[in-house]
């Protein structure tokens, strides 16, 4: 039997895959069947009854199965007893659907009329007004006049906080359950549900704190009315006043496509400001979802504490200066200390910034002393060889495929990847997690490998050694079973992170995992779409930093340099011991992050930043940069997709884009006329970095039709996530796609005996940092310093659940909450809500006797 089915909808034939719903089949030929409860990313429920149509199927002779025909030869159709919901009926061959008949029109009009009998119609003050499915479908199918002549329509609460982020207007809710179903089916956070029945059906939150989910904002996009609104946008603007600009999320390596909706604001002195961040469809990256961090952290762009003017230290004080003065000073000082300079960059900067930064050092100053200020995860060079192949889409992974996730908590570090791996598992993929401790992905994993502290590398090495093509039938050893499942998979994707590992250990880990992918089995697991390695980078453009050569040993495009420069750790040492004289820190705060004690013996420190960070306070020159929203640029995701973002709001004060500041310094150190547009810098990148060859701002802006339709006219169907009109980005090809990659040599790591409790810092999505601190809406949700440990370990320390403790790690002391959690393996302490700490450490943990009031976060 073929897996395609042909149906006729209003006289138009369409051939669609078996299992397609009538509503989707119609959509494919632009026949818009109106819906409220149906959403193409959710299972159909047939609740709202808006999609009723006439559906006829060919009648067959009971005995022979022959199709029955009318006298004129046409097929006899059985239209059943009445209208049917197009969202729940699956197409079948020969089906005939009628969507424009009088009964269908009547039914649509009736549903609209019914909905309006309990709807407040406060469109003039409703956030959804202007992009409201109910409004639009009422205009299209409603009767235009009410027959419900009672004045007491419905009186329900209009401002119900489901938490601090999402508000419910009970009057506006049309009980479609999209929000409930999204939370349950899509993101497995069933924290909201219906309560009561009939017209009193209401959405309630079941969690404490309310609506406790990293995904809550998405429900406001798919809610077909203004019942769910976000705390920071509600009553903030009308949709038609907004100017939408395409952007990319800057908070994790997934690189979700977003749209910045902006508006000129009187309170901002007539400036355009970001009113909200919305998902922008990219079925390759984030589909139509974003996490709440990506949605709510943007407020830092408008923070009053932004730097607005260059600052130069005079008589011990940082005072405002002109750009020329500041830039001349920077260029002069850097050149003066040419032999003793270094540069440290943050990995949230754009490719253009990072490229020009390394160019300044390599070409302008002749130095390879350049690195990421806060490097955590190695293996960029390995990824360049065997990374996830171009043309991959995690959405395609399913039965027969495998995903391995090592040393990372995807739900906290890269939420949308967690979602995509979870969904792959639901489609039948083998999911193997290897970590020190359980994470949220364990629930969806088929194999869970929890290694002992210090045994990460030896465990993975064993796994690789066990992964032989001719495996004996999997024995009971879980490691062997996992290896077997992985190696036999049609496609294999491997994620790796740095939880509990040092930088050097992550380097070995990347190589070991590359070797796993390189075990030859059939077509192999490298160089083919949906196969390869994905690093769970700490920031949004760590990948770009590697590509651009912000690395002491690699020039742009992974060209090894003959004389590698100083690594970040050496640079910090050089600052302290005086062997370095000048330091340029861009988009990073090593002092605030505890990596650099002070300015040591530096003669000159320049910091390029958005805010007056701890490092900036010590600088000789502070250069005010623009946030990502004020400028354009490109980021490269962990899947090596190069994506463009666009200028959405005007610059704050006299700030300039990072790349421009760098270009102007570069000019001053003799590197020629500065490029006057980011696109031109990118063109240079495309020439210098072989992997980016052929890309330019136009190719990155290419789009294609995506399924399902969202945004625009289709918002009743897919929600208000924006249609992608500004670019899907381009994945660059790794070496394995065109050449054979040899196995990597990985030196055997000595197993270090570890005594006593081992402390590992674990990630939390809302961990305090320079940017997130500036978004008040998230303050209640911030991860407070917390330790988690098993009952026996807690008892040994005299700790109990809900106690407070003082934890000293690497001579930094934190006051933490204490959570006794039996999920934590014995001998391990998980510390979250604090800045990154590499590897495993020991810690002094002391119970705090004085009852300290729980901070409320206000």
Partner 1 sequence: MAHILLRHRDIENIHELDVYLAHGGYEGLKKALSIQPDEVIEVVKKSGLRGRGGAGFPTGIKWGFIPKGPGEKYVIINTDESETGTFKDRELVEKNPHQVIEGALIAAYAIGARTIYNYFRGEYMDAAYRFEEALKACYERGLLGQNILGSDFSCDFYCHYGAGAYICGEETALINSLMGNLGQPWSKPPFPAIEGLYGKPTVVNNTETLANVPPILVNGPEWYTSMGTEKSPGVKIVCMSGHVERPGNYEVEMGVTYRQLIEMAGGMRNGRKFKALLPSGGSGPVITEEALDAPMTYEGLTPYGSVMGSSSVIVMDETTDMVWAALKMVHFFRHESCGKCTPCREGTFWMEKVLSRIYHGYGTERDLQILESVANQIGGRCLCALGDFAVNPVLSTIRHFFDEYKAKVSGAGQKQQATRETAVATAD
Site residues for partner 1 per CB under 8 A: 44-50, 52, 81-83, 85, 88, 106-107, 110-111, 113-115, 117-118, 147-148, 150-152, 174-175, 193-194, 196-201
Q: Cα–Cα distance between 50 and 238 in angstroms, integer?
A: 26
Does the protein bind ligand SF4 through residue 416 (CB under 6 A)?
Answer: yes
- How far is the CA of 309 from the CAs of 20, 320, 622, 657, 659, in angstroms? 58, 6, 9, 13, 17
* Per CB under 6 A, 51 contacts ligand FES: yes
In angstroms, give the least distance from the CB of 535 to ligand SF4: 14
Contact between 544 and ligand SF4 per CB under 6 A: no
Query: Is residue 35 within the footprint of ligand FES (CB under 6 A)?
Result: yes
Identify the residue among 16, 25, 26, 38 touching ligand FES (CB under 6 A).
38
Sort 474 into a burial class: Cβ within 10 Å, 0-12 / 13-18 / 19+.
middle
Report the C-alpha gap between 467 and 461 in whole angstroms. Answer: 10
| Per-residue tokens: 290 | 């974003």
Q: Which of 5, 249, 349, 710: binder of ligand SF4 (CB under 6 A)?
A: 249
Binding-residue total with ligand FES (CB under 6 A): 12
Question: Which residue number, 414 or 605, has a Cβ lying nearer to ligand SF4?
Answer: 414
253-272 mask for ligand FES (x: CB under 6 A)?
A: --------------------
Yes or no: say if 174 and 199 are a contact pair by the CB < 8 Å rule.
Answer: no
Q: Nearest Cα to 662, choosing from 370, 313, 247?
A: 370
Nearer to ligand FES, 23 or 486 (CB): 23
- Which does residue 152 touch among partner 1, ligand SF4, ligand FES, none (CB within 5 to 8 A, set by kind)? partner 1
**Binding positions for ligand SF4, 286-315, rule CB under 6 A:** 286, 290-291, 293-294
Q: What's the min distance (Å) between Cβ of 90 and partner 1?
A: 9
Pick one of 340, 370, 407, 414: the residue that binds ligand SF4 (CB under 6 A): 414
CA distances from 184 to 46, 160, 192 (A): 17, 21, 8
The span of 49-57, 698-706, 725-733, 837-845 binding ligand FES (CB under 6 A) equals: 49-57
Closest CA to 701 of 243, 391, 248, 390: 248
To the nearest 10 degrees (0 to 180), the angle between helices 678-688 and 351-359 is 70
Strand order across the beta sheet in which 430-435 lies: 447-450, 430-435, 402-406, 492-496, 532-535
The site partner of 286 among partner 1, ligand FES, ligand SF4, none (C-beta below 5 to 8 Å per kind) is ligand SF4
177 forms part of the interface with ligand SF4 (CB under 6 A): yes
Angle between helices 678-688 and 658-668 (to 10 degrees): 70
Query: Considering CB distances under 5 to 8 angstroms, the limit depending on partner class, which of ligand FES, ligand SF4, partner 1, none binds residue 114?
Result: partner 1
Minimal distance in Å, beta carbon 9 to partner 1? 20
- Calpha distance 342→344 (Å, rounded): 7
Helix axes 456-466, 478-487, angle to 10 degrees: 60
Closer CB to ligand FES, 97 or 249, in the complex? 97
Half-sphere exposure of 746 (CA within 13 A, CB side): 27
| DSSP SS3 for 13 | strand
Residue 191 as a binder of ligand SF4 (CB under 6 A): the answer is no
Q: Cα separations (Å) of 542 from 7, 466, 532, 682?
A: 49, 32, 18, 17
Q: Closest CB to ligand SF4 among 290 and 838? A: 290
Residue 114 is a binding residue for ligand FES (CB under 6 A): no
In the bound complex, what is the minimum distance in angstroms from residue 130's beta carbon to partner 1? Answer: 23
Q: Which is nearer to ligand FES, 32 or 442 (CB)?
A: 32
Contact 206, 193 (CB under 8 A): yes
Which does residue 225 bind out of ligand SF4, ligand FES, partner 1, none, counting CB within 5 to 8 angstroms by kind?
A: ligand SF4
355 CB burial (10 A radius; 0-12, 13-18, 19+): buried
Least distance between ligand SF4 and beta carbon 197 (Å): 8
Radius of gyration of the chain (CA): 29
- Residue 776 touches which member of ligand FES, ligand SF4, partner 1, none, C-beta under 5-8 Å by kind: none
Question: Is 106 or 477 the residue whose CB approaches partner 1 more closely?
Answer: 106
CA distances from 818 to 782, 805, 834 (A): 16, 7, 14
Binding site for ligand FES (CB under 6 A): 35-38, 46-51, 85, 87
């Amino acid at each position: 039997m073929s897996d395609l089915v042909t149906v006729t909808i209003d006289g138009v034939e369409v051939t669609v895959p078996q299992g397609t719903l009538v509503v989707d089949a119609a959509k494919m030929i632009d026949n818009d069947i109106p819906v409220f409860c149906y959403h193409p990313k959710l299972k159909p429920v047939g609740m709202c009854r808006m999609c009723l149509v006439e559906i006829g199927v060919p009648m067959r002779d009971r005995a022979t199965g022959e199709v029955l025909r009318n006298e004129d030869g046409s097929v006899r159709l059985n239209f059943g007893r009445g209208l049917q919901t197009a969202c729940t009926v699956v197409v079948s061959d020969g089906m005939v659907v009628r969507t424009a008949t009088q009964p269908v029109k009547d039914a649509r009009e009736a549903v609209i009329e019914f909905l309006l009998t309990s709807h407040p119609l406060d469109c003039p003050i409703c956030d959804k007004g202007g992009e409201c499915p109910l409004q639009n479908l009422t205009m299209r199918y409603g009767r235009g006049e009410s027959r419900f002549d009672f004045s007491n329509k419905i009186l329900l609460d209009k401002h119900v906080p489901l938490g601090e982020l999402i508000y419910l207007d009970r009057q506006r809710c049309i009980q479609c359950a999209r929000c409930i179903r999204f939370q349950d089916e899509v993101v497995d956070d069933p924290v909201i549900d219906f309560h009561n029945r009939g017209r009193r059906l209401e959405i309630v939150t079941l969690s404490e704190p309310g609506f406790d989910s990293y995904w809550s904002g998405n429900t406001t996009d798919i809610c077909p009315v203004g019942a769910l609104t976000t705390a920071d946008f509600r009553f903030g603007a009308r949709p038609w006043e907004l100017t939408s600009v395409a952007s990319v999320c800057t908070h994790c390596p997934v690189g979700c496509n977003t749209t910045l909706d902006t508006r000129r604001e009187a309170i901002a002195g007539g400036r355009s400001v970001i009113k909200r961040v919305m998902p922008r469809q990219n079925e390759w990256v984030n589909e139509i979802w974003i996490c709440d961090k990506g949605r709510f952290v943007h407020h830092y762009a408008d923070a009053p504490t932004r730097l607005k003017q260059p600052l130069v230290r005079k008589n011990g004080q940082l005072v405002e200066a002109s750009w020329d003065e500041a830039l001349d000073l920077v260029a002069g000082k850097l050149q003066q200390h040419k032999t003793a300079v270094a540069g440290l960059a943050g990995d949230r900067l754009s490719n253009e910034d990072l490229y020009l930064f390394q160019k300044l050092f390599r070409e302008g100053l002749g130095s390879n002393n350049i690195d990421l200020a806060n490097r955590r995860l190695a293996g960029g060079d390995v990824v360049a060889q065997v990374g996830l192949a171009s043309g991959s889409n995690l959405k395609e992974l399913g039965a027969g495929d495998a995903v391995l996730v090592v040393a990372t908590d995807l739900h906290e570090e890269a939420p949308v990847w967690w979602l995509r791996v979870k969904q792959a598992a639901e489609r039948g993929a083998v999911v193997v997690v290897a970590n020190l401790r359980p994470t949220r992905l364990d629930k969806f994993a088929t194999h869970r490998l929890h290694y002992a502290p210090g045994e990460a590398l030896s465990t993975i090495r064993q796994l690789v050694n066990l992964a032989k093509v001719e495996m004996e039938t999997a024995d009971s050893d879980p490691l062997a079973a996992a290896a077997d499942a992985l190696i036999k998979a049609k496609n294999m994707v491997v994620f790796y992170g740095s939880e509990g590992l040092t930088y050097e250990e992550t380097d070995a880990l990347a190589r070991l995992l590359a070797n796993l992918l390189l075990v030859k089995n059939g077509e192999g697991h490298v160089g083919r779409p949906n196969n390869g390695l994905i690093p769970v980078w700490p920031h949004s453009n760590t990948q770009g930093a590697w590509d651009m050569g912000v690395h002491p040993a690699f020039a742009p495009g992974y060209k090894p340099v003959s004389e590698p420069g100083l690594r970040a750790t050496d640079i910090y040492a050089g600052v302290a011991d005086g062997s370095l004289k000048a330091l340029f820190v861009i988009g990073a705060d090593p002092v605030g992050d505890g990596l650099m004690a002070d300015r040591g013996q530096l003669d000159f420190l320049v910091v390029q930043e958005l805010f007056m960070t701890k490092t900036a306070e010590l600088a000789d020159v502070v250069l005010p940069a623009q946030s990502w929203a004020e400028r354009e640029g490109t980021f490269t995701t962990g899947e090596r997709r190069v994506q463009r973002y666009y200028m959405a709001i005007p610059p704050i004060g006299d700030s300039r884009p990072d790349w421009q500041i760098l270009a102007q310094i570069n000019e001053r150190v003799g590197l020629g006329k500065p490029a006057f547009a980011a696109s031109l810098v990118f063109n240079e990148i495309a020439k210098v970095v072989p992997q980016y060859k052929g890309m330019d701002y136009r190719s990155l802006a290419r789009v294609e039709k995506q399924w399902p339709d969202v945004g625009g006219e289709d918002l009743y169907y897919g929600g208000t996530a924006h249609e992608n009109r500004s670019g899907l980005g381009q994945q660059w090809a790794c070496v394995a796609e065109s050449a054979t990659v040899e196995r990597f040599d990985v030196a055997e790591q000595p197993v270090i005996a570890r005594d006593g409790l081992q402390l590992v810092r674990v990630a939390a999505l809302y961990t305090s940092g320079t940017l997130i601190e500036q978004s008040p809406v998230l303050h209640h949700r911030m991860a407070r310093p917390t330790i988690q440990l098993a009952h026996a370990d807690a008892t040994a320390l005299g700790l109990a659940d809900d106690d407070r403790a003082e934890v000293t790690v690497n001579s930094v002391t934190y006051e933490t909450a204490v959570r006794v959690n039996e999920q934590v393996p014995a001998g391990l302490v998980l510390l979250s809500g604090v800045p990154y700490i590499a590897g495993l450490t020991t810690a002094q943990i002391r119970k705090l006797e004085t009852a300290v009031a729980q901070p409320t976060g206000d």
